[in-house]
Each structure stands twice: as C-alpha cells, then as structure tokens.
Amino acid sequence: MAHELEKENAADAAMDYVEDGMTIGLGTGSTAKFFVENLAEEIADGLMIKGVPTSEQTRQLAESLGVPLIDIEQVDRIHLTVDGADEVDASAQLIKGGGAALLREKIIANASDLMVVIADPSKQVEMLGQFPLPVEVTPFGYTITAKQVYDALCRAGVLKPRIDVRAGPDHQPLVTDGGNFILDCQCGIIPDAPKAAALLAHVPGVVEHGLFITNCRVVIIGSEDGATVFEY
C-alpha cells in the first residue's frame, strides 16, 4: 500500500508540468497509470490535451477513461512525456522496459520537448544494473544476436552477464507490440551505462535497448506524504 501511495503522489506532482493544449506522451506501467488517471480527471473538468500512448496497454487504459488520443504519425510535436522507470540513478540515467514497451517509449521520449520520470523510492539506485536490462531484438537470428549482446555488455565492463529470452504467458518468447522479442540481461552492475548503450546500439538485430541515457530531465520520486522533484 505504501508503494501505491508513493506512486500516486509522484504522478500527482507531475501534473504541475501539464498545460492546456499540450500533446503528451503517456507512459506505460503501474506508476504511469496513475498519471493517465489524473489526466482523465482534469480532462473531465475541461483540460484540453492530446495523448500519445507508448503501448497498447496504455492506449486501452486512456480510451477507457476518455483521454483523447492522437496517432504518432499525425504528431508534429510532443510537448511532454510522463513515464515510469525500472531504475533511475543520480544522473537521471534510466533502465526501462520491464513492461515490454521500451521501443515505443524511447521513440516518444526522444521526440518530446521534456521527459518527466515518476517513480517510487525503490527505483532509485547508485548504479544501474540490478534490474535486468531489457534489449528488444528481431526474432530472426535472435540466438546469434543474444551472443553479440553478451559480448557487447562484457566490453562495457559487465562481469558475466546472463541473457534470458523473456517468456510470455504461454511460455513461448514474449512478442512486443512491435513484433519483436526481448532479451533480459542480468548485469548486476553496469559500470559505464553510456558505453553499454553505444555498444548495444551497434549490434545487428538489436532494435532498441532499455538504457535511457540523456532522455530524462526531470525525476519525481514520490513518498507517503508528497514528492521530491529533481531537475537536470
């Protein structure tokens, strides 16, 4: 219950960045869900915004709550994106992708004027890597890609990473909204996240990885009695 209140308070604080007329990227996950619900309440009171969902899950939630949406292909500017994170360090570097939406999340975050991350205190870390790093890959040749992902992480200083193919409810490889597989990379510690991001980006077969290095400029950490805002 405490975690839920922390998430809710972080989402409440993110509403300070919302302005009438904005196009807003809508994140995926349990914390971002609170933000979408907040938007729906303000829209019912007259707020005029358009949302760009980062996943089919978020699209369904927003539609059920009456949040007006716009297709990404029709967007010429995204003013703000509010999303969660699986890990965030003191430099606002993130690991995302626990909800299997990292590709769309990164496309939308990169296109946004401002990305705000909302999280509970358990997501704060000194160094990224305890949460398994998701890497989205094409199904074709994914076992070969997994070996090259392993080699790239080793070159980035990760000691003996373990690579697992994420399974869906049917115990087959989970298929993302983009039709790809996800490799969950147990790293323990990623000593140089920017280097790891750069090396992974050059592996053929890697569609995207869950390291968000320069996307985020505001981190809001919720607590039981409010939220703390960090601006970078």
Catalytic residues: 105
CA-to-CA distance for 167 and 8, rounded, in angstroms? 29
CA-to-CA distance for 150 and 154, rounded, in angstroms? 6
CA-to-CA distance for 3 and 16, rounded, in angstroms? 21
Buried b (16+ CB within 10 A) or exposed e, 28-61: bbebbbbbbebbbeebeeebebbbbbbbebbbeb
End-to-end CA, the chain: 30
Specify the 3-state DSSP secondary structure of 110: helix
